[in-house]
Amino acid sequence: MTIYKQFTFDAAHFLPNVPEGHRCRRVHGHTYHLTVYVSGAVSAEEGWVIDFKDLKAVVKPLVDQLDHAMLNEIAGLQNPTAENVARWLWRGIQPEIPGLSRIELKETPTSGVIYEGGAD
């Protein structure tokens, strides 16, 4: 069974490694939409994979670090592409939520990344 919880945050960034003249090299912002998926067996006792409250307790502090921040100033996000932000989130969530199976991070309604850990 796979459950999910969604979060949003607003943040600014620029992409320092894209060519000169690329519009993403300039500071700009997004309203990010994050969906965190956790897979596992449904507990016979509680009847769930994980308590949504427990998932939120792990993810919200990470989201709060990103919300209304300049992503380039956050340790480990000097090149804050959607891919790198998803990996950063994964690294913060996965040790606390072993059943983490997928992160979906949207920068815009039509653009985003899905990260499932493992090989980059």
Tell me whether residue 30 is annotated as binding: yes
Tell me whether residue 22 is annotated as binding: no
24, 33, 83, 104: the catalytic one is 24
DSSP string, the chain: -EEEEEEEEEEEE--TTSPTT-GGGS-EEEEEEEEEEEE-PPPTTTSSSS-HHHHHHHHHHHHHHHTTEEGGGSTT-SS--HHHHHHHHHHHHTTT-TTEEEEEEEEETTEEEEE-SS--
Known catalytic residue at 68: yes
Known catalytic residue at 107: yes
22, 46, 68, 83: the catalytic one is 68
22, 45, 96, 107: the catalytic one is 107
Known catalytic residue at 20: no
Would you list which residues are annotated within the binding site? Answer: 13, 28, 30
Residue positions annotated with a catalytic role: 24, 68, 107
Would you list which residues are annotated within the binding site for Zn(2+)? Answer: 13, 28, 30
